[in-house]
Amino acid sequence: MMANEEKLYRKALLLSLFTIFYNIVEGIVSMFFGYQDETLALFGFGVDSFIEVLSGVGIFMMILRIRKNQTMEKSKFEQTALKITGTAFYLLAVGLFVGSVINIITQHKPETTRWGIIISILSILIMFWLMQSKRKVGRELDSEPIIADANCTKVCIYMSVVLLLSSLIYEITGFAYADVIGSIGLIYFSISEGKEAFEKSQGKECSCD
């Protein structure tokens, strides 16, 4: 392997590790403030971040595999990680749905969505940087799997935008169902990511375009 190529693979691995550790921190902070402020959308966003950690570990192993032997066949570890990730996304969607129904029936409102605004803005900025950085490395390596992973970061950005909009609407207007609407948006993307994870575990590739 050429020195420049090895350097690019190291960069890809570091970006993957950063994604994992960032999602762990984001998950802890989001779930803490989501629980404290009684906002379902922020709490669900935090759970999603932990699921993304599972996905990130699978991506890290994928890069190691490609770096070692360039094979496109997924290892059993990657396939299992994808199946667990897919199941977790579906369970998150169910949990958010049940929580949304309960909040509608009880007319529950969050204490505040201020932290949802702060966390979502930070997430959008970091995920956009990660997407651009991963794309650059993927193109320089001419690696479709790494480029596809970069493109899939867009889904994380979309989810952050959903959280930001619902949090802003509630904080500005006090609209009772803004948090529920945000949760429904997260349900849509959770189902989409769950489906994609299972398809990838079966060998189908998705560019997330």
Q: Residue-wise pLDDT tens for the chain (209 aa)?
A: 577 888 999 999 999 999 999 999 999 999 999 999 999 999 999 999 999 998 888 889 888 888 887 666 667 777 888 888 899 999 999 999 999 999 999 989 999 999 999 999 999 999 999 999 999 999 998 888 888 888 888 889 999 999 999 999 999 999 989 999 999 999 999 999 899 888 888 877 655 65
> Tell me, what's the pLDDT at 208?
60
Host domain of residue 191: 3-201
| 206 in a structural domain | no
| 208 in a structural domain | no
| 43 in a structural domain | yes
| 207 in a structural domain | no
> Tell me, what's the pLDDT at 73?
67
> Tell me, what's the pLDDT at 205?
64
DSSP-based three-state secondary structure for 38: coil
| 91 in a structural domain | yes
The label of the residue with tokens 């994870």 reads 197
**How many domains in the chain?**
1
| 141 in a structural domain | yes
Q: Work out the burial of residue 181: count CB atoms within 10 Å of its CB; fewer than 13 is exposed, 13-18 middle, 19 or more buried.
A: middle
Rounded to two decimals, the pTM is 0.87
